[in-house]
Structure 1
Amino acid sequence: MFYKEIDRDIKGVIKIGQDDDTNVHQELDEYVVTRELARHFSTFFEAYREAINNYTDKMGVWISGFFGSGKSHFLKILSYLLENREVKGKRAISYFDDKIEDASVLADIKASGDVSADVILFNIDSKADSDSRTNKESIVNVFNKVFNEMQGFCGSLPWLADLEAQMVKEGSYEAFKSRFEELSGESWIEAREDFYFEEDNIVQALTS
């Protein structure tokens, strides 16, 4: 009678962070592409294709709409398609083979999957510091924080993340982390935010 189990768990609100394979599979599998959404996918991936083929500094995309109109869900789906990760043995873009009727739009979507992309999806409020409402550069700081975290660097101390990036560039980061753990008894990742308490061990690890 029903194609899918009607007593299955269905998320009433789409939230950033629900990125386990089960949730992602359900979102991709059950996402309904309406005519309006099809136009939005066309607009986005046409622009994305142009950015792939030709240099441009016009990198921003603004998603607007009323509360509850599906902005967050649309954004999450875009992130899945751009990352094109494998979910339940199937690439994200493949879930859209029978959802997009326009062959040219589907071709643009598939072309995006041929390009390597690092996707960072996050909620700004959850990543912002307490002074975010008064600091004019708060959004830039949040972006920098999340970008550093994505690379495995310290998010809370930008200058420390710069030091880590420099060590990666020099090829000494792994040796530094091992030496630091020998000296302090703690892993660098767990202890780095206590930088000032670990200063002596850090200096020794850097100079070893």
Structure 2
Amino acid sequence: MATTTAPRGSEAIGNNLTIRDILARDLSRRIEPVVKVYDRGNLAEDLRQFVITDSLARELRKFLDAFTESLRSRIRRGRGGDGMAVRLWGVFGSGKSHVAKVLGHILENDVVEPEGNRRGIDLFNVHLDDPPLHGAADLKAALTETRTHAWCKTIAFEIKSKLDQANPESVTEICLRSFYESLGLASTIWLTRLERKLQTEGQYDDFLRTYREQNGREWVADRMEHGFYLDEIATALAAALDRPLASARDMLSAYQRDHSGVSPETFARELVEYLHGRAAKVKPREPHLVFVIDEMGQFITESGDRIHELQVIIEQAGAQGRGRIWFSCTSQEALDQVVDRTLYTVRCGR
């Protein structure tokens, strides 16, 4: 009787084929043990290797139906729907972070594969070409509508990695800092607001050039350690704005004193200001912001105030953003379990 020795890590089928040969996906590809929602390095591969089941297709359809209905309302009446938050929950390792990451980036639909100029939706649609998949045609239609009528910027992060020890309780500050960092601006709130003001006035490029010429270094190289370079910042501001050095110093002091505070109301207002600035550039599409926040459930259960703050953030984003600011949060527990555990933590802390 003839025998066939299978290559290591595979089973032989006949004399020539192995299981590895007949599978469409590469079994030797390294699989990251933890999906990082903020990691764009493997985004194309994450989209290409995504596995969509019938049940997942149904849940994605629910979200996209809500998103496109809000989009239509926004186009018709200037105001989208109020339901701009989605919660993805599942046990550790269930794939919720992967789903949240993929969802955020198919909405953004940026170029993820430069060869061929393929965008997020292009790679995702490959998974919908199998006719037996539940609702494939409807999902494709919703994605086409989204691509045609919405411009989305996705801000994805794992919330605990963004904790600021100066204000570790503030969900609002974490979200605002993450938003500004995604624009290439400072992570310090008052400094970011100064940068935004310079951009609005058309003077930011002058400041960057002046800082480089005066100090021989790029502004972004010194920005993280800005406390050591306040004199250099003031001198560059004075030259770029053509004002006395004393006036530039006063400006820095005023921003440090008066522009460090963050509230859900000011957070939403600053996001809306950004959206207003993008509207003309992306017209006729409607500009949107999509926050993908990983492990929010665990974070808010650690403090009774955080769940209320998150609620107020979403309410303010809805009232001011009018359907253009969305949140996708992951959790290892269902919402009612998070609320129950938060209330229990609060009672035990009294």
TM-score, structure 1 as length reference: 0.88
Q: Which of 39, 48, 71 is 2:67 aligned to?
A: 48
1:8 correspondence with 2:26: no
Name stretches of at least 5 consecutive residues in structure 1 with no aligned partner: none
Aligned to 1:173: 204
Could you tell me how far 1:65 is from its partner in structure 2? 2.0
Letter in 1 for 2:125: D
1:123-142 map, 5 Å: 123-130=158-165, 133=168, 135=169, 138-142=170-174
Q: Which of 135, 139, 164 is 1:105 aligned to?
A: 139
Does the residue aligned with 2:152 lie in a helix, a strand or coil? coil
Letter in 2 for 1:140: T
Q: Deviations over 1:99-149 (max 9, x none)?
A: 33421222112222222111111111111113555x2xx211110111111
Q: Which of 76, 93, 108 is 2:121 aligned to?
A: 93
Structure 1 stretch 34-43 or stretch 103-112: which is displaced more? 103-112
Letter in 2 for 1:202: I
Contact kept in structure 1, 2:37 and 2:100, CA below 8 Å: no
State the structure with bigger RCO (CA 8 A, min sep 6), 1 or 2: 2
- For the pair shown, the structure with the greater C-alpha radius of gyration is 2
Q: Cα gap change, 1:34/1:194 in structure 2, threshold over 3 Å: closer, same or farther? A: same
Structure 1 stretch 94-103 or stretch 76-85: which is displaced more? 94-103
Q: Cα gap change, 1:97/1:193 in structure 2, threshold over 3 Å: closer, same or farther? A: closer
Contact kept in structure 1, 2:212 and 2:218, CA below 8 Å: yes
Corresponding residue pairs, total? 202
Letter in 2 for 1:139: V
Could you tell me how far 1:176 is from its partner in structure 2? 0.7
Query: Post-superposition, which runs of at least 4 consecutive aligned residues in structure 1 deviate over 4 A?
Result: none
Letter in 1 for 2:176: N
Instruction: Output the CA distance in 1 between the equivalents of 2:196 and 2:166.
Output: 26
Instruction: Output the CA distance in 1 between the equivalents of 2:39 and 2:186.
Output: 23
Aligned to 1:193: 224
Instruction: Output the CA distance in 2 between the equivalents of 1:76 and 1:104.
Output: 21
Contact kept in structure 1, 2:121 and 2:143, CA below 8 Å: yes
Q: Cα gap change, 1:12/1:48 in structure 2, threshold over 3 Å: closer, same or farther? A: same
Q: Cα gap change, 1:132/1:39 in structure 2, threshold over 3 Å: closer, same or farther? A: farther
Q: Cα gap change, 1:18/1:196 in structure 2, threshold over 3 Å: closer, same or farther? A: closer
Q: Which of 156, 159, 184 is 1:121 aligned to?
A: 156
Does the residue aligned with 2:232 lie in a helix, a strand or coil? helix
Aligned to 1:78: 103
Instruction: Output the CA distance in 2 between the equivalents of 1:192 and 1:181.
Output: 12
1:139-154 map, 5 Å: 139-154=171-186
Aligned to 2:57: 38
Bigger fraction of residues in strand: 2
Q: Cα gap change, 1:153/1:26 in structure 2, threshold over 3 Å: closer, same or farther? A: closer
Q: Deviations over 1:69-100 (max 9, x none)?
A: 21101101102211112233322212233433
Name stretches of at least 5 consecutive residues in structure 2 with no aligned partner: 1-20, 74-78, 240-350
Letter in 1 for 2:179: F
